[in-house]
């Protein structure tokens, strides 16, 4: 590389998973072997690292990855950077919100947006920047041209997960291991199928085990999977479960990690769909994993709202999932989204009934507040809001430890607070 560029990644808690995978991809490209990468984890550290990088490197690429909930705070930070440094750095953004709203993201002051999956796009971008070439022809980006007109170079084909590492081995940035991308259900509030596709792509058992072995070699003995639905692993369509493939995965990981290893499956940072909770899948978690809970995605107690959201399962599926989980000795954490579009008082009361039923059974509610996300069918649909009955029920259950989550923060952001 001729221009000695540096890559500075704003490596915050909420965005580390994305950057671990991206840096892992960069490590596979020999032409980028000499690329210096900085990982500031706070605003103060970011400005300190930028000062350091500017003294050493001719070109600095500053990368952000963020969610819609981080849009406002990211814009404030980018403004500070531009005010202090002007156009001396190349600012790029990627992740869920920039992919869904590239125009709005460029409006924050970014030079370009990586749309969709970033592994291959980031490699090609940095190669061109390092050679001093015109990076605006790189496929998979959006930018404003010299006249301020929006330009997009289109998306790249979906990647093969086995082609790239799940984390950055050389830079020692380890973490959760992504086993599946994509989702076939296309829920109207969710970005996953629109950003990562509606067809499931699984990392192979062999590939997963290869990187579990890498982790074990560094005495990292906890395995947590990133996946839209843990019980979809190995499924051809994501709708019919493949228990034999799940067991092949879990057995392979357990064999490598040995007795000191710990497998977490169907719990943070992933969840499971209610209709996929069966005696067989729950039994596999009990047999191989150590997590004491399963996170079950219900979202609403109203079947009308579930159908409107295109969820593809029933409220009764969730009752069965909770019962099976509790019977097997797991804690059941049930995802509920407050304020979904078009909720009526009757819909809210049905959700309250379900929450009360689950609380009586011993389950806990993982609460969220609906946020319109770009590039989803609900992107421009207003929130249904929170009615007094729901708030009264929440206040009653919170002291009992039956509620957790960041729904209050999400509500403030959704309402522009």
Tens of pLDDT, residue by residue over 248-272, are 999 999 999 999 999 999 999 999 9
With cut-offs at 50, 70 and 90, classify the pLDDT of residue 403. confident
Q: What is the pLDDT of residues 45-56, one digit of tens each?
A: 999 999 999 999
Nearest to 273 by CA among 221, 244, 305, 235: 235
Q: Where in the chain are the domains?
A: 5-152, 176-291, 292-417
272 DSSP 8-state letter? B
d(CA 46, CA 89): 13
Buried b (16+ CB within 10 A) or exposed e, 139-164: bbbbbbeeeeeeeebebbeebebeeb
pLDDT recorded at residue 248: 98
**Mean pLDDT, range 212-233, rounded to an integer:** 97
Cβ contact 166:25 at 8 Å: no
* CATH code, residues 176-291: 3.30.750.210
Q: At residue 1, does pLDDT exceed 80?
A: no
Nearest to 71 by CA among 113, 27, 41: 113
Q: How confident is the model at residue 395 (pLDDT cuts 50, 70, 90)?
A: confident
Q: Using 50, 70 and 90 to split pLDDT, how confident is the model at 396? A: confident
Task: Report, in angstroms and rounded to the nearest whole number, the Rg of the chain calculated over CA atoms.
Answer: 22
User: What confidence score (pLDDT) does residue 385 get?
Assistant: 80
Contact 221, 261 (CB under 8 A): yes
Q: What is the pLDDT of residue 416?
A: 73
Helix (H, G, I), strand (E, B) or coil at 4: coil
* Cα 214 to Cα 413: distance, rounded to the nearest angstrom: 40
pLDDT at residue 2 is higher than 70: no
Which pLDDT value is given to residue 26?
Answer: 97
pLDDT category at 188 given cuts 50, 70, 90 is: very high
DSSP letter, residue 170: T
Encoded tokens for 31: 């032409």
Fold agreement (5-152, 292-417): no
Q: What is the mean pLDDT of residues 32-61?
A: 94
Please count the CA atoms within 13 angstroms of the CA of 53 that sit on its side-chain side.
26
Convert the pLDDT of each residue in 69-79 to its tens digit.
Answer: 999 999 999 99
Q: According to the model, what pLDDT value does residue 399 have?
A: 86
Give the model's pLDDT for residue 171: 97
Query: How many whole angstroms separate alpha carbon 282 and alpha carbon 329?
Result: 10
What is the DSSP secondary-structure string of 190-240? Answer: --HHHHH-SS-EEPPHHHHHHHHHHHHHTT--EEEEE-S-GGGTT-SSSSS
Half-sphere exposure of 65 (CA within 13 A, CB side): 26
User: Whole-angstrom Cα distance, residue 406 to residue 366?
Assistant: 9
Instruction: Report the DSSP beta bridge partners of residue 263.
Output: 223
Residue 172, CA atoms < 13 Å, CB-side half-sphere: 3
Q: Is the pLDDT of residue 393 over 90?
A: no
Nearest to residue 70, comparing CAs of 8, 26, 18? 18
CB atoms within 10 A of CB 265: 26
Q: How far apart are the first and last CA of the chain?
A: 45
Look at residue 3 in the predicted model and tell me its pLDDT: 60
- pLDDT mean across residues, the chain: 94
Instruction: Give the tens place of pLDDT for each residue, 335-383.
Output: 999 999 999 999 999 999 999 999 999 999 999 999 999 999 999 998 8
Mean per-residue pLDDT, 171-178:
96
The reported pLDDT for the residue numbered 132 is 82
Measured distance CA(146)–CA(164) in Å, rounded: 35
Other CB atoms within 10 A of residue 327 CB: 10
State percent of the chain over pLDDT 90: 86
Lowest mean per-residue pLDDT among 83-97, 123-137, 138-152, 207-221 = 123-137
Q: Residue 109: what pLDDT?
A: 97
Superfamily of segment(s) 5-152:
Cobalamin-binding domain (3.40.50.280)
Looking at residue 389, its pLDDT comes to 85
Considering the four listed CATH numbers 3.30.70.20, 1.10.10.10, 3.90.660.10, 3.30.750.200, the one that applies to the domain covering 292-417 is 3.30.750.200
417: pLDDT confidence band, cut at 50, 70 and 90? low
């Amino acid at each position: 590389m001729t221009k000695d560029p540096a890559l500075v990644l704003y490596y915050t808690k909420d965005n580390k998973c994305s950057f671990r995978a991206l840096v892992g991809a960069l490590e596979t490209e020999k032409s980028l072997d000499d690329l210096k990468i900085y990982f500031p984890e706070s605003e103060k550290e970011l400005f300190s690292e930028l000062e350091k990088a500017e003294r050493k490197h001719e070109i600095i690429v500053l990368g952000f990855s963020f969610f819609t909930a981080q849009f406002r705070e990211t814009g404030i930070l980018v403004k500070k950077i531009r005010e202090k440094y002007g156009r001396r750095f190349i600012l790029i953004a990627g992740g869920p919100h920039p992919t869904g709203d590239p125009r709005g993201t460029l409006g924050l002051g970014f030079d370009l947006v990586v749309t969709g999956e970033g592994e291959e796009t980031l490699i090609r971008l940095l190669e061109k920047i390092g050679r001093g070439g015109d990076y605006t022809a790189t496929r998979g980006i959006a930018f404003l041209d010299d006249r301020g007109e929006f330009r997009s170079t289109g998306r790249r084909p979906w990647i093969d997960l086995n082609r790239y590492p799940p984390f950055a081995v050389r830079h020692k940035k380890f973490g959760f291991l992504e086993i599946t991308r994509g989702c076939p259900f296309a829920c109207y509030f969710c970005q996953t199928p629109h950003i990562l596709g509606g067809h499931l792509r699984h990392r192979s058992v062999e590939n997963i085990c290869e990187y579990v072995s890498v982790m074990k070699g560094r005495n990292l003995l906890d395995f947590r999977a990133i996946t839209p639905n843990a019980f979809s692993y190995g499924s051809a369509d994501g709708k019919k479960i493949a228990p034999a493939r799940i067991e092949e995965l879990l057995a392979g990981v357990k064999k490598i990690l040995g007795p000191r290893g710990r497998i977490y499956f169907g719990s943070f940072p992933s969840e499971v769909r209610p209709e996929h909770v069966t005696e067989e899948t729950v039994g596999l978690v009990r047999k191989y994993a150590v997590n004491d809970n399963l996170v079950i995605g219900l979202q609403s107690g109203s079947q009308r709202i579930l159908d409107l959201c295109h969820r593809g399962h029933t409220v009764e599926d969730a009752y069965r999932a909770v019962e099976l989980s509790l019977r097997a000795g797991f804690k059941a954490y049930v995802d509920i989204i407050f304020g979904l579009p078009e909720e009526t008082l009757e819909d809210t009361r049905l959700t309250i009934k379900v929450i009360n039923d689950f609380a009586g059974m011993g389950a806990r509610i993982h609460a969220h507040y609906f946020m319109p996300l770009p590039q989803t069918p609900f992107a421009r649909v207003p929130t249904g809001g929170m009615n007094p009955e729901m708030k009264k029920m929440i206040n009653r259950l919170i002291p009992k430890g039956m509620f957790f989550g960041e729904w209050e923060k999400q509500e403030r952001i959704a309402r522009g607070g």
